Chains A and B, each alone.
Chain A
């Protein structure tokens, strides 16, 4: 009996003390782990580029371009790809923890938001020249007159058509709204629709609506104007004719492409980023044309799309200068041409674009369309996202029964009351 307490007590005490220390250590570790990342040490010769090239092919093309540029400049360029919808939020989070990458590739419609927050460096001060870059594309990468983003390539929408179906029906490629409506009606047969486009509830749908809105003289600052109402009424008419599937309001641009490839649509509105997929189906003979306009002779104004390379403000001017050189290399004439040939998009640089036209004459219509294309954020800058949401809701309401006028009137109210 007497021997027990002294033996038991120290052991119990020792165990509990050990347990306490180890738990305390774990707590400290947990807290420590949560706090690291705030002070990230940059490797002096390694530069990071954040982009949205999550597709295997795009990731590979970018990696190759970065390797070439890295070698030329004597640095290592690493690629960090995140889904397109996360580039902005991820970059913002990284900004608050002072761990921004050296280069960020933003979608051009998102760049103004980041620029407005004061997060980007003026590329001209880093020595980038805009010689040979057409005015429209310089504007595309600019916010309030400052050139923040260098585009490697740009894209826009065009009318893709199935050559075999059109030939068989003996119809010409439509160039005006009336012709498009007529042709689409004639090509609608059985399970096949004359035309496919995306009116989905995301940026895809708005992107596809802009060529109709702009070519008709409408404007995103005045959503309930007769021109915008007219454009939306035209979409409604196509749907009423049965030329568009009722599922249009639920389709993304990728869905539209799937329908076109499956032969469920004779024509579609889409962009060059689908070409790689389209070409995997050898039996499909497609060609492209400019998007039809309201009246013969009018300008076909499409949306300018694509990404721009930007240098975020990290505070380290030495690194920012090198990052600028990497951007200059990636956006150089030679790299632009390689990238454009891979991705089927149009090079931003005039000289590169001329060479590209010679190499891929079948995409000529796209180059014309790009020359007349407009940037979505040129007028509204960071305010675009609010207008875009209001517009999505409006054309979906109109396509599912409401009058275009009422739907757009509400959209205009929502766009101006927001913020």
Chain B
């Protein structure tokens, strides 16, 4: 306040008088810098920090529908945590989440990389095919879920009918057998994730200088050797990004599973994501839902740290 009144009260500026005071200029620069950062900080605190802290607190509270009226949610220590950890369903969901994430990532990445490498060659219709492969990415998750549910229907689904006409087993219980359902859900998710992996990896491949391949060809290196010694190492930063982003979006899966199987049959496709949803919004036990949500955040945080580590060593 005082500084501004001083400046304002100063007479019409003449070149000599307004010679910058170095201390004040530095302060002003610092204020300006924080001014630019402030909206981002406020935004982060409001929309990320606050919900995060609330979620952690909520997992230690007895939070029920009544809380919405009274605002009272008594702390109950680790009651929510112990009841969730004792629930058989939690163990199952954790295991399913791991299998789902690992399976999806592996499938998406391998097929995505293979397609990306394939499309670096020049051939007719390359562009058209590449854009066609993007289609699964454009379809909203819930829509793909519903369409795939129809395709995978045991009796009337297109897939079984097709397999039947080929003389193969046309009675595969894709979504109706507890032993198959998780695998089917993973396959659908791989289908959804391929375009993302392909596009990013394709971009990475474009960055690799062509001369390296020419040199390798002159040295008479076979294709596999070229791929292992040139493509993979130079693609590493991009691979890290793809895998970490893929992990983040896969581990919290909810919409696809709800649309495909609703967590069934017999809880065979229940993951941490669906469990949080079920606890919080079906059973309205928000404390238990928060516990599972926190576990999910924790798992993601571990991977975020790995990611940051990997990036830092890249930078050096």
Interface residues, chain A, with chain B CB atoms under 8 Å away: 2-3, 5-6, 9-10, 13, 16-17, 19-20, 23-24, 26-27, 30-31, 34, 85, 88-89, 92-93, 95-96, 113-114, 116-119, 191, 193, 200-202, 245-250, 259, 262, 264, 313, 382, 385-386, 389, 392-393, 396-397, 399-402, 407, 414, 418-419
For the complex, what is the distance from the CA of A164 to the CA of B175, rounded to whole Å?
Answer: 32
Cβ of A314 to closest chain B Cβ, rounded Å: 11
Which residues of chain B come closer than 8 Å to A392, judged between CB atoms? 264
Which residues of chain B come closer than 8 Å to A414, judged between CB atoms? 88-89
Q: Chain B residue with minimal CB distance to A385?
A: B283
Pairwise interchain contact B154-A246, C-beta atoms closer than 8 A: yes
Interface stretch of the complex, out of B28-36, B198-206, B216-224, B294-302: B28-36
Which residues of chain B come closer than 8 Å to A385, judged between CB atoms? 282-284
Which residues of chain A come closer than 8 Å to B262, judged between CB atoms? 200-202
Cβ 8 A contact of B156, one of A119, A200, A259: A259
For the complex, what is the distance from the CA of A27 to the CA of B46, rounded to whole Å?
Answer: 11
Secondary structure class of chain A's binding surface, majority of residues: helix
Cβ of B15 to closest chain A Cβ, rounded Å: 4
A-B contact pairs, 9 of them (CB 8 A): A6-B19, A10-B13, A10-B18, A30-B42, A31-B46, A95-B69, A119-B69, A245-B155, A313-B69
For the complex, what is the distance from the CA of A95 to the CA of B285, rounded to whole Å?
Answer: 17
Cβ of B313 to closest chain A Cβ, rounded Å: 35
CB contact under 8 A between A31 and B38, given known A6-B15, A250-B176 = no
Pairwise interchain contact B39-A26, C-beta atoms closer than 8 A: yes
Which residues of chain B come closer than 8 Å to A30, judged between CB atoms? 39, 42-43, 46
Which residues of chain B come closer than 8 Å to A399, judged between CB atoms? 265
B264-283 with Cβ < 8 A to chain A: 264-267, 278, 281-283
B174-192 with Cβ < 8 A to chain A: 175-178
Pairwise interchain contact A247-B153, C-beta atoms closer than 8 A: yes
Smallest CB-CB A-B distances: 10 pairs: A201-B264, A20-B35, A6-B15, A397-B266, A396-B266, A117-B65, A201-B262, A396-B265, A16-B32, A96-B68
Pairwise interchain contact B149-A250, C-beta atoms closer than 8 A: yes
For the complex, what is the distance from the CA of A89 to the CA of B13, rounded to whole Å?
Answer: 62
Secondary structure class of chain B's binding surface, majority of residues: loop
For the complex, what is the distance from the CA of A262 to the CA of B150, rounded to whole Å?
Answer: 14
Pairwise interchain contact B155-A397, C-beta atoms closer than 8 A: no
Cβ 8 A contact of A201, one of B18, B64, B177, B263: B263
Which residues of chain B come closer than 8 Å to A10, judged between CB atoms? 13, 18
16 further A-B contacts with Cβ under 8 Å, apart from A23-B38, A27-B39, are A5-B19, A10-B18, A27-B38, A27-B42, A96-B69, A117-B64, A117-B66, A191-B155, A246-B173, A247-B153, A247-B176, A250-B176, A313-B69, A396-B264, A396-B266, A400-B176
Q: Chain B residue with minimal CB distance to A86?
A: B281
Which residues of chain A come closer than 8 Å to B11, judged between CB atoms? none
Pairwise interchain contact B155-A246, C-beta atoms closer than 8 A: yes
Pairwise interchain contact A117-B69, C-beta atoms closer than 8 A: yes
Residue B233 lies at the interface, judged by CB distance under 8 Å to chain A: no
CB contact under 8 A between A117 and B176, given known A10-B13, A201-B264 = no
Cβ 8 A contact of A13, one of B19, B28, B66: B28
